[in-house]
Structure formats: C-alpha cells, structure tokens
Amino acid sequence: MAKAAKTKEITLETVLWNCRVALRGIGSTEKNRDAVIGLVFLKFAGDKFEKRRAEIKEQYGDVPAFLEKVSFYNAVNVYYIKETARWSYIVKNASANDIAVIIDKAMADIEESNPPLKGALPQNLFATLGASKESIKSLIDNINQIDEKRFQDEDLIGRVYEYFLQIYAAAGTKEDGEFYTPACVVKLIAEIIEPYSGVVYDPCCGSGGMFVQSLKFVDRHNGNRQKVSIIGQESNPDTWRLCKMNLAIRGIAHNLGEKNASSFTEDLHQDKKVDYIMANPPFNLKGWRGEDQLTDDPRFKGYALPPVANANYAWVLHMLSKLDVTNGIAGFLLANGALNAGGAEYEIRKELLERDKIEAIIVLPRDMFYTTDISVTLWIMNMNKHARTVKGRQLRDRMNEILFMDLRRWDSNIEEYVIDKGKKKKKTVLTDSQIAEIKKVYNNWQDVDTSLYSDVPEFCKSVTLDSENSIRAKNYSLAPSKYIEFIDHDLEIDYSKEMARIQGEMREVMKAEKQSQAMLVDAFRGIGYGID
C-alpha cells in the first residue's frame, strides 16, 4: 500500500509573505500596508475577544447581560467587538460581494465601541482600495492562518507586527520609511538609557518602536511594566494611526494625544517633564517652522534660534526642554552633519557643551536605515553627570567629559529583506553581542572604578571639555574622528620583508611558467611538429 504523501507544514514567514502578495499590484505601498496591518489588527483583536468571551462562558455559562460591557473587556486590555465586526464574521463572509464594505464597517464599529482606539484604525480604506473581492478573500484567508496554536510563539503578535512594519518601511520611499527605526538600533538606545520606571517620551514616535523596545527592556531585566508610562506624538496622520494600532494590539497603555500634530507648532504635552526620551527625528528636516514662527519660544531660551532650513538642533532643544532637570536622560539619533554644523547650530552645540548636557556620542555603521544609506549618530543627553548611585551602580563624576565611540567598522553583519518578487534590500544590523559590548563600554566609562574603562584606538575615547586635544580646542566639534586615535596600518608593514616575499613569489611564478613552456614544446614534438 502506497504511503500517503506528507503535507509540508507552512512556515510563518511564508504566511506573512502570502499576505503581502495578496495585494500585489493594487494601490500604493502605503494603502497596502494599512490594509494588511489593519486586518492583522482585526484578527488579533478578535482572537483576544473570543478568548476572553470563552473565559466568561466557562465561569458563568451564557454571557450575562451585565457583563456585555465595553469597560469589562477594556479593563483586561481586550477590545469589545460587535458580532458583525468579529474576525469569525469576516472570515465567514470573505467571499461576499460586499466584503470591502463589511471590513470598513467593522473598523468603524470597533473604534466606536472602544474609546481608546479613537482614530487608530483605517476608515473607508477597503472600499477605495481598488482590490477585487478575490484579492481581499486571499488576504483574509492568509491572515486567518496566523494562529497562536499553530505558531507557538510567546510574542506572535509582536513578531507579526514587527515583520510588516519593517518590510513595508524597506519597500517604501524615503517618506514611507520614516515611520520605522531598525529594531536593533532601538534596542541599543533602550539598553543604554535603561528605562526601568518613569515616563518615556518620543516627540516623533513613528510606528511606536521606541515604546515597544522600552517595555521589552523592562521585560528582559525582570522589571515591572506598570511602572512605565508612555507618552508621545506624531505629525503624520497615517503613521499616528499605525502607532496607536501597534501599541493597542500589544496591550501597551499610551498617550499620543487625541490627534496627530507637530511637536514644534502644537506640543500636545506642553510643560510635561519626563524621565526618558527615545527618538529618531526625521533627518535634516526643512521648513519645520515659518520664518517668523517660534522666535520667542521658551524651549529655545538661552540658545540661538535653530534655522528654518534644518530642524536637527530644534529637536535637541525641544527634547532638552522635556527632560526632568535632575535625572532626565535621552537617547536620540541625528544625521552626522549635526556633529560639525556651523552658524546657529554651532552656537547651540557650543552652549549645550558648556552647560554639560551631552554625555556620549556614538557613530553607527553605514546603511542601517531604510530611508538613507548614510551613517548616523546616537546622542546621549544626560541632565545629571554627577557621582551618584543609579540602579545599584556607583557612578563617578563625569562633569565636562564626553565618551566618543565610532562603530563604522562594525558593518559585517548584513540582513537581507525580500521586499518584492526579484527585489531584495540589504541592511547592516547590530547583533545582541555587539549591543552588549557597547553597553559595557558605556557603563564601564561611567563606573566609579576607573580601571574598568580605557580608550581603544579606532573605537572609543573619553574627552574632556578643557584639556589638550579637548572639545574646546577642537572648536566644539562632536565628530568622534576628531578625538579617537587612528592607527596608520601602513606603518605596521615591514617593507623589506614584504618586498622579499613578493620577489620570491615572482621567482616561483616565472619558474612554473618556464616548466609549462618546456612541457608544451615536448608535447608538440611528440605529435610530429618540427620545433627547433
């Protein structure tokens, strides 16, 4: 009797790929992204709802009317869903001619039933997507395969959302990619600033990666999520919705304001002081204010006014104004041009250094970001560099001192993303061990035991504000290459020995060439050619 052929178990990656393929060639990358992520949200929200409902039935039998309340579900981070908005209903009607309308209605109903989701879900998207009912059914069928029982992953929700946010950022334009910061970079920031408890703020939060990683940091170090508060804002309305969905489906409480808004012209958290800032502002943002706007803004008081043509230092001063004045710490990314920029930016940088607000400057490897292939810099801004005890560690006084690190040679770890059929993109990533090494160097530099840290050529250097080869002497430049020792490896070459080696190799090559010629002559003679 013939053996039955084994059915090959489909992988999660294949399912996720098929979700993307379902809408290939239909609409824009941005609309497809919102359609896929929106339906994924309905799937996970529906699964959570059904699980909670099953618990209630097990306890009470039929669900009693007094428990059919939104607040009862919201209290345990579950969203209440009307019958016609539940995932099971959408799957059941996947072949219906009006499936696009059914989905759009489900999105609207879930928002209406759950106030925390106000403005989070895409509205009237599927009716205007231009996708056939067959394409939408294919997408639903593929998303329906994303199941916790099938793919036993403790963080399936996070893994799926991270995949789609990452892949659509990689596939999009520069503007499309601004909503996502590579996870390894965000993890590095979290490991350095250590947001164990307090308020975490991001003034340009994109899809919420900084917030997600801050709580993952707490989980990794056995902390308490309840001690961390999340606040932020985002100017792009579509990205603001992505962030709210990303945080909501993971059960992360947050305050992103009631709408999208610019942190510069409409600060939704005015006068709020925070413990931690994690941010990746748009690089070299132009036109962030009008020529006559914000000229007397208190956030810039005591500093030069940041130029209209570049918001880099406007972001720095905005974040500085938000930090708790005694213990606040920030980790944020800026284009490398900010390290040496002149004019008003130079004046701001000089004042920041004289007021001792900057603790570390870390240049990252090239080609890590989806929006650009340039190397960018991680800045650490610390409001308290005095000797003290922080989370059980004894820190020394680091006043008027900055740690510089240059990671541009750490470019050998490459990840490849298949962003479309026949189209791939490669990006540099930092490994967990590399992140741990950076954190160790930073912590050792801070430590009261000064024997733990030492400068390393081409890697790290501790520099004071006022000494030989100091920051003042370098005209307040923050470029690590101005301070970190560079080794001229050409000087390590023993030229006499090297020339002898090369000459020996040439002699061997010439000897082998003569032997080959002699063999060739013998061969021709052997077949009757007269060769003199």
Q: Which two tokens stand for residue 506?
A: 């040439």
pLDDT at 337: 94
Tell me the torsion sign for CA atoms 142, 143, 148, 154: positive
Residue 416 phi/psi, 5-degree rounding, is -110, 130
pLDDT at 6: 46
Torsion from C-alpha of 256, 257, 261, 262, nearest 10 degrees = -70
Query: How big is the CA angle at 486 (ends 481 and 491), to the nearest 5 degrees?
Result: 155
204, 316 contact by CB (below 8 A): no
Q: Give every CB contact of residue 342 below 8 A, 6+ residues apart in sequence.
A: none
Q: How many CB atoms lie within 10 A of CB 257?
A: 16
Q: Which two tokens stand for residue 74?
A: 């919201």
pLDDT at 405: 98
Distance (Å, whole) CA 250 – CA 89: 23
The helix/strand/coil state of 148 is coil
Residue 222 phi/psi, 5-degree rounding, is 55, 40
443, 403 contact by CB (below 8 A): no
Distance (Å, whole) CA 498 – CA 495: 5
Q: Which two tokens stand for residue 273?
A: 């002081």
Q: Give every CB contact of residue 312 below 8 A, 6+ residues apart in sequence.
A: 281, 283, 284, 285, 306, 334, 335, 337, 338, 341, 345
Torsion from C-alpha of 230, 207, 138, 130, nearest 10 degrees = 120
Q: Which amino acid is at 127?
A: A
- pLDDT tens, the chain, 532 aa long: 455 444 457 788 889 889 988 998 887 888 899 999 999 999 999 999 999 888 877 877 776 665 567 777 877 888 999 999 999 999 999 999 999 999 999 999 999 999 889 999 999 999 999 999 999 999 999 999 998 888 877 778 888 988 888 888 877 655 544 668 899 999 999 999 999 999 999 999 999 999 999 999 999 998 899 999 999 999 999 899 999 999 998 889 999 999 999 999 999 999 899 999 999 999 999 999 999 999 999 999 999 999 999 999 999 999 999 999 999 999 999 999 999 999 999 999 999 999 999 999 999 999 898 777 888 999 999 999 999 999 899 999 999 999 999 999 999 998 887 766 667 778 899 999 999 999 999 999 999 999 999 999 999 999 999 877 799 999 999 999 999 988 764 545 565 676 777 777 777 777 777 777 777 666 656 666 555 5
pLDDT at 177: 47
Nearest-CA neighbor of 358 among 337, 344, 338, 343? 338
